[in-house]
Structure 1
Amino acid sequence: MFEFIRTHKRFLQFVLLILILPSFVFFGVQGYSRFMEGDQALARIDKAKVTQQELDNAMRQRVDQMRQQFGSQIEARLIDTPEARKAMLDQLIDQQVVTAEIRSNWMVVSDAYLRDTIAAIPAVQKDGKFDLEMYQRALASQGLSEQGFEARLRNDIASARVAEALSSSSIVPQTVLEKLARQAEQPISYREQLFRAADFASKVAVNDEALKRYYDANLKQFEQPERLKAEYVVLDLPTVSKMVEVKPEDVRAFYDKNQDRFKSEEQRKASHILVKADKGTAADEQAKAKTRAEALLAQVKANPASFAKIARESSQDEGSAPSGGDLGFFGRGAMVKPFEDAVFAMKEGEISTVVQSDFGFHIIQLTGLKPSAVRSFDEVRAEIESEQRKNLAAKKYAELAESFTNTVFEQSDSFKPVVEKMKLPVSTADGITRDRLNQPSRPGDVLSARVIESLFSADSIKNRRNTEAIEVAPNTLVSARVVDYQAARTPPLEEIKPAVQARLVAQESARLAREAGAARLQALQKSPAEVAGLGEVRSVSRATAQNVPPQVVSAIARTSAGTLPAAVGVDVPGLGYGIYLVTAVGEAPALSDERRASLASALQRVTGELESRGLLADLRQQHKVKVLKTDFTKQDESAAGASKPAEKK
C-alpha cells in the first residue's frame, strides 16, 4: 500500500492541508447536513455546492468551540468576521473537493470498520458499550439522519487513512535536512555599533514653520476617533443579594430539618501488613502467602508494640510500609469491602485475624476512631446564611430582571425611574471609543462589545436614550446611556503642539542617526580594520537569536562567508541605526538524534503543506470549482445572525 502512496504522492498529499476530522468528534457535526437544498449556493463543485446554511452552521460551531475554550463571555462578532467567513468557505470547498476526488478514485471503508468506529465514540456509549438509542437521539438532536451522517463519516475515515498513511511513509531528504540544520545552528560572529536616535534629539532644530509643515503633511496621524461618555446601571446577583434579608429563624429551621447534611460520618484509622496474593494468583501461591501472613500475625500477637516495625520490614504495600503500615483516617467506601468490614468491626487497639482481599492477605491494627457527629449550629450558621442568601437573590433576580428590562425601555429618557425603584447605583465611563468593539470582554467588564455597539447607535447618540437591557454575563443585565459625545476630529495644531513636536523630533532624530550610521558604514566597508567604536565580538545563530532584533539576524545571516569581514547597516525599530561587522561564520554543532527528528518533522509538515496548497488548486480546477460569493462584509440578516445568541425579551 505504501508503494502505491509513494507513486501517487502528489495526488494524495492534498489531504495533509485539510482538517478533515475536527468534526469527527461526534457532537457538533452540523456541517454534515445536506438539508436546506433551496439555500443560496455560495460555491459549486461539480454537481455539489456549499450553501449559506452550511456556512452559517460551520460558523456557529466555531463560535461554540471558542466559547467552550475561552468562556461564554467572548463576543461572537470577534470570531464571526468577514475574513473568518471567507476562510471557512474555502475550507468547506476544500472538503468537498477531497470528497469528490476520493469518491471518484479508490478509497473504500467497509461497513464493519464504520460500525466499529461509531461504536467507539464515547458520546453514544452507555456503560462503555454502544447504545443505539443514544446514537439515534444524538443524531436527532443535530438534525441528522443515520444515512447522511454515516456517509460523511465514511468519507472522513477514508480521507484520514490517506493522510495517516502518507505522513507515516514520507521521507525527508537527508541533504536538505542537514543544510537547513547547518543554516539554523551556524554561529555567526559580529561586532555592533548602534547610532541611537535619542542621542541626536538635541541636534534637531524645530520652529513653528517646520511644525506646521509636519502637521499639515501628517493630519491622519493626529485624528482623534469619535468618543463618548456614558452612564450605566447594572442588575446582577451581588447587587440583588444586598436587597434580600435572611431571617435567623429560617436559618435555624433549615439546620434543624437537615441534620443529616451536617453530620460527619464515622472515620477510623488503621495500619496494616500486606502479603500480596492477587485475585489471579495460583492456589499454591495463595496458600504460601496465607501461611506467611499467619506467621507475621503470630509475631505481632506476641508483641503488639512491634506492629509498625514488622510492617516496615515485611509489608508488601509499598505505599504504607515506610510509615509502619499507617493508612490514616478513612470512612466507609474508601477501602475494599473485606478490609472495610474487618476495620469497622474492630475495637480501638485491636489486631485482626488474617483478612483476605483481592490484593492479598492483611493483618490490621485499629489505631484511632472519629465517631460520627453533627456539626454545631454555630459552626454552620454562616454557611447556611450564605446559601439562603444566594437562593433568595436568585429568586428575586428573576423577578427584578423583567422589571429592570421593561423600566429602562419604557422610561428611556432617564435612569431615575429604575434607580429609584431598585436602589441601583449609576456608574460612569469616559473616553469610550469604537475600538472596544474589536476587543474581547474582560472578566467583570460589564461594558461588553454589545453594550458599546448600542451606545454608538444613531438613536443613542442623537436622542440620548437608555439602551435596551443587555445580558453581558449570566445573571447580569446592563443598560447604558450617552451623556456626552464627541465626533471624530483632527485637533488644531495649537491644541496638540507638544505631541506634534515630539513626533517631528523623533522622525528627524531617526533620520540623523541613519545618516551618521550610513557614513560610518561606508567608511567601514572601505576599511574593515578600522574598528574604533564597534563593540566586543558577539555570536548569534538563527536558532539562538532570542535577544537580537530579527532585522539584525536576517541581515547578518545573509552575509556571504566568502567576503568576510563584511559590514551591513540595519534600521533597528525603536532604537536607531545599527552597523554590524560580520567577522566569522563557524561550523554548526553536530545534530543530536532528538534535534534531527524534530527538524525532520517540522520540515515534513512545511513541505507537505506547501505542496498540498498547489494540489488543492489543481483539484479545484479539475472539479470545476466556482466561488459565487467572495465579499462577506455585507451579510444577509440570516447570515449575520448565524452566530448571534438569541436576545432575551
Structure 2
Amino acid sequence: MLQKLRDRTSGWAATIVIGLLTLPFLLVVDQGYLGGVGANSVAQVKAPPTWWAGAPSWWPASMLWRHEEVSTDEFRQRFEQERMRQRQAQGDDFDPRAFESLENKRTVLDSLIDEKALLLAAERAGVVVGDVAVRDYIQGMPAFQVDGRFDATRYQLALSSQMPPQTPRQFEALVRQSLQQSLLPTGIATSTFATDAEVDRIVRLADETRDAQVALLPPHEEDTAEVTDAQAQAWYDAHKGDFMRPETVTIEYVEVGPEQVPAPEQADEATLRSRYEEEKARFVEPERRLASHILIRVDADADAATRKAAEEKAARLAEEAAADGADFAALARANSEDPGSREDGGDLGWVEQGVMVAPFEEALFAMQPGQVRGPVQTDFGYHVLQLRQVEAGAQEPFEQVREELAREQAQADRERAYSELTGRLTDVIYQNPSTLDSAARETGLQVQKLGPFSRDQTIGVAASPEVKRAAFSESLIEDGTASDPIEIGPSHSVVIRVIDHAPEEPRPLAEVRDTVVAAVRADRRGKAAVAAAEALVERLRAGEALADVAAAANAEVVPLDGLPRGAPVPTAAANDVLFEAALPVEGTPSVGRFGLEDGRQAVFVLTAVHPGDPAKLTPEQRTQLRAQLAQIDGTAAADDYVRRLRERFIVVVEESQL
C-alpha cells in the first residue's frame, strides 16, 4: 500500500493531494519552510525529498523539503577564524576595515553553504559514520599523540583550551559531522585514475623541446617627430590613470610613549612584601600525584546493559587491583582499553589539578598513596585508579622571588602611569574633539605635525599601518575630529587629527606634458618596431632564409636548440610564444616574432619539435605521475560535484544578516 502511494506521488494530482493533507498545519508552519530564512540564520540550503525529486518548492509542498541552515553564530565564528588566519598571514599589512568587505563575507558564507549542501547530500545518500571510525580518526590526529600514540591527557588539555571549551562528546559530534560531509567528495576524489595513454600524452607535452633560430633585432631608432597638442591631449585623456596625484593627508598628533611617561620610583620593601602576600599562591609548586588507571571504555550511545557490564567489569578489576600483592600494571596491560597508557601498565605520569576531567580528578585527589579506587565514571567509560605517590607543593620564600616582584611592580607602575596619562588625554579630547591643543596643554604633552603624506609613504608615526588607516579613514577626514588612542607599540600610542586632505586627482596636462610627450613617442617607437618585425616575418614566410633577413636588418642570430617548455629563455613570455607556434611542416617554415623586456623585437624560425619520450620514465616515476594526474582529476571532480550540488539544491541567503 505504501509503495503504491509512493509510486503515485508525482504529477499535478499528487500536488493537490499533498496540499489538502498539509492545510491543517498552516497555523504552526515554520516561516523558514515558506522560503524565508529564520531570524537567527544567514543562509538556508534546501533539498526536495528523495522520493519526490520534482517536488515544488512552494508551500505547502515545501514542507516536505529537507533543509540545513547556516546560523548567524556559526557564520560569525567562521568569519572570526578567517580574520585570525589572515591577520596571522599578513601581519602588519592586515587591514581590518578592508577585511569587513561584503566580498570576504560572501566567500566565508559560500564555504559554509558548501558544507551544508554536502551534509544534506550525505544524509540523502544514507551515509552514516560509526563510533569506531570517529574514535580511530581522533586517535590518529597528531595533535593528540605523544611519541606517535594517542594520549588521553593531551586530548583533554587540547579540548579544554578551546574557546569555548569542548567536551569529548561535543568534539566527537563535530568529527562525526565532518566525516559525514567529506566522505562523498573524498570518495569521488579518490576514485579517479589516469591511464597509461594519458601519462604518455602528458610526458610528450611536458618534456617536449624545440629547436629554433632567433634573430634579435637592434633597438628601433628613436622617435623624434613632433607630438602635437591634439596628440598629447588624446594620450592624456586615454591614460589619465597614469598621471594621478596621490591622495594625501596632513595630521597633527599627540604621542604618549616611554619618553612622555615619567619613570616610576623604585618600590619600597613594604610594597613588595604586600604584593608577595597577595600573590603567594603564584609562588607555590603545585601538588602532583603519580597515577595509573585502567579504562573500560563505554560508547556514548551504549545501552544500559552494556554500561552495566562495563561497570561490573571495572568493579571486579578494582577488587583484584586492591588485593595484597596485586600487580596493577599487569592488570592494566591485560584489560585497559586506553591505547595511550595500556602498554605502559596504565601509567599516566605526574598529574596536577586542572588537567583531567572533573570526576577523575576529584577521585584521584581524594585518595591516599597506595590506594586503589573504582569504578570512577567519566565520558570515556569506567576507570580504576591507583595513586602511587604524592609530591606536595612547596612555598618559595620572599627573598627568592624579590627581584621578580620588583620587576613586575616597576612594570605595573609604568603601565599604570601610561594608562592614567592616556586616560586624562582622552577625557579632555572628548570634551573638545575638534582640537588637540587644549588636551596637550592640560597633560603637558606636545602637539606635533606630520605630512602631507600618501598611503604609500612611510614616515614618522605614519609608519604604523593602524595610524595610516585611521588617517585615511572617511570618518576622520570628513569630521576633522580626533581619533581614539591608536596603539603603535607596547605602552605607546598616539591620538591623531586630520587637518588637511587632498583627494586623488589627475595632474593637469600642462604639469605632465613632458611625460605625456615621452609616452607618445615611446608608443610610436614600439609600434614601429613591431611593424618592422612583422615585415621581416612576412619575408620569412615568403621563403627567405633567416640569415639573409637578419643580415639585412643588422640582427644577431641566436640558436636555441633543445629549448625546454617553460624555461624563461629568452623570457618566460617568449618561451610561451615559441611553444604556441605551429609545428613546422616540410616546405613551410613556422615563423613568428616576440617582444623583449627592453623593447626590442625578435623574429624566429622554428626548425624542429622533439616530443618527450615516455619510455624514459622509470616505473616509479610513471607511478608517481599517474598518482599526480589522478589527484588533479579527482580534485576537479570533487569541486564539480559540490558545484552541481548547489545547482540541484535551493540556496537562500539573507545578506542583511551578514
Normalising by structure 1, we get a TM-score of 0.60
Aligned partner letter, 1:535:
V
User: What do residues 35-79 of structure 1 show as CA deviations (whole Å, max 9, x unaligned)?
Assistant: x96324434332223344433321111112233445487333344
Give 1:108's match in structure 2, choosing from 128, 144, 161. Answer: 128
CA distance in 2, matches of 1:592, 1:443: 58
What secondary structure does 2:497 align onto? strand
Say whether residues 1:404 and 2:404 are aligned partners: no
Does structure 1 retain, via aligned residues, the 8 Å contact 2:537–2:603? Answer: yes
Match of 2:70 in 1: 50
Match of 2:636 in 1: 610
Superposed counterparts of 1:19-38, under 5 Å: 38=39
Asked if the contact 1:188–1:584 (Cα under 8 Å) also holds between the matched residues in 2, the reply is: yes
How many angstroms apart in 2 are the aligned matches of 1:522 and 1:475? 71
2:83 counterpart residue number? 63
Q: Shift of residue 175 of structure 1?
A: 1.5
Secondary structure (helix, strand or coil) at the match of 1:583 reads strand
Corresponding position of 1:580 = 604
Which residue does the alignment assign to 2:471?
455
> What's the counterpart of residue 415 of structure 1?
436
Query: Following the alignment from structure 1 to structure 2, what is the Cα–Cα distance between the partners of residues 175 and 414?
Result: 76
Distance, in Å, in 2 between the alignment partners of 1:427 and 1:389 is: 32
Q: Deviations over 1:599-640 (max 9, x none)?
A: 434422322232233322332233x222435xx7xxx5x74x
Tell me, yes or no, if the aligned pair for 1:204 and 1:509 is still in contact at 8 Å.
no
Aligned twin of 1:175? 197
Secondary structure at the counterpart of residue 575 of structure 1 = coil
How many angstroms does 1:500 deviate by?
Answer: 1.4
- The DSSP-based 3-state class of the residue aligned with 1:426 is strand
Supply the AA of the counterpart residue of 1:628: V
Indicate the residue corresponding to 1:212 in structure 2.
Answer: 233
Q: Kindly indicate whether the alpha-carbon contact (under 8 Å) linking 1:413 and 1:464 is maintained by their aligned counterparts in 2.
A: yes
Is 1:91 equivalent to 2:105 in the alignment? no
**Which residue number in structure 2 is paired with residue 9 of structure 1?**
none
Q: 1:432 to 1:518 in 2, by over 3 A?
A: same
Alignment partners' CA distance in 2, 1:202 and 1:383? 75
Q: Percent identity?
A: 19
CA contact 2:249–2:502 (8 Å) conserved in 1: yes
Residue of structure 1 equivalent to 2:338:
none
Match of 1:262 in 2: none
2:226 partner letter: A
Query: Counterpart of 1:287?
Result: none
Aligned CA RMSD, in angstroms, stands at 4.4
Match of 2:651 among 604, 616, 626: 626
Return the alpha-carbon distance in structure 1 between the equivalents of residues 82 and 176 of structure 2. Answer: 23
8 Å CA contact 1:466, 1:479 repeated in 2: yes
Cα shift at 1:99: 1.0
1:557 is displaced (CA, Å) by 1.0
Q: Pick the aligned partner of 1:498 from 482, 505, 514.
A: 514
User: How much does 1:203 deviate?
Assistant: 4.3
Residues 1:388 and 1:601: Cα distance change in structure 2 (over 3 Å): farther
Question: Cα–Cα, structure 1 residues 555 and 627, in superposed 2: closer, same or farther, change >3 Å?
Answer: farther
Change (3 A) 1:220 1:124: closer
Q: Secondary structure at the match of 1:171?
A: coil
Q: Residues 400 and 547 of structure 1: is their aligned pair in 2 closer, same or farther, counting only changes over 3 Å?
A: farther
TM-score, length-scaled by structure 2: 0.60
CA deviation after TM superposition for structure 1 residue 166, in Å: 5.6
Distance 2:460 2:630 in 1: 44
Q: How much has 1:91 moved relative to structure 2?
A: 1.5
Change (3 A) 1:424 1:554: same
Letter in 2 for 1:104: R
Instruction: Give, in whole Å, the separation in 1 of the partners of 2:541 and 2:466.
Output: 59
Distance (Å, rounded) in 1 between the aligned partners of 2:170 and 2:418: 45
* Matching residue of 1:554: 576
Q: CA deviation at 1:244?
A: 0.8
Contact 2:210 2:564 in 1 (8 A): no
Deviation at 1:456, TM superposition (A): 3.9
For residue 279 of structure 2, what is the aligned residue in structure 1?
none
1:169 shift after superposition = 5.6
Contact kept, 8 Å, 2:188 with 2:634, in 1: the verdict is no
| In structure 2, distance between residues paired with 1:505 and 1:470 | 49
Question: Once the 2 structures are TM-superposed, how far is the Cα of residue 154 of structure 1 from its aligned partner?
Answer: 0.9
Partner of 1:128: 151
Are residues 1:224 and 2:217 paired?
A: no
Q: Distance in 1 between matches of 2:467 and 2:198?
A: 55
Note the residue ranges of structure 2 that are not aligned, 5 or more in a row: 1-36, 48-66, 277-402
* CA deviation map 1:355-389 (0-9, x unaligned): xxxxxxxxxxxxxxxxxxxxxxxxxxx99999886
CA spacing shift, 1:549–1:146, aligned 2, 3 Å: same
> Is the CA contact (8 Å cut-off) linking 2:144 and 2:154 kept in structure 1?
yes
Structure-to-structure mapping, 1:199-598, within 5 angstroms: 199-236=220-257, 238-240=258-260, 243-244=262-263, 390=411, 392-420=413-441, 421-424=443-446, 426=448, 428-433=450-455, 448=464, 450-457=466-473, 460-462=476-478, 464-472=480-488, 474-531=490-547, 532=550, 533-539=555-561, 541=563, 543-563=565-585, 565-572=589-596, 575-588=599-612, 590-592=616-618, 595-597=621-623
Aligned letter for 2:590?
A
Quick one: distance in 1 between partners of 2:564 and 2:460?
43
Q: 1:606 to 1:175 in 2, by over 3 A?
A: same
Kindly tell me: are residues 37 and 118 of structure 1, through their superposed partners in 2, closer, same or farther at Cα, counting changes over 3 Å?
farther
1:330 maps to none
Report the Cα distance in structure 2 between the residues aligned to 1:201 and 1:385, rounded to whole angstroms: 75
Say if 1:545 and 1:553, in contact at 8 Å, map to a contact too.
yes
CA distance in 1, matches of 2:493, 2:178: 44
SS in structure 1 at match of 2:222: helix
Shift of residue 246 of structure 1? Answer: 5.8
Q: Distance in 1 between matches of 2:227 and 2:133?
A: 79
- Taking a change above 3 Å as real, the CA distance of residues 560 and 507 of structure 1, as seen in their structure-2 partners, is closer
Partners of 2:189 and 2:640 lie apart in 1 by 17
Cα 1:86–1:191 change in 2 (3 A) is: farther
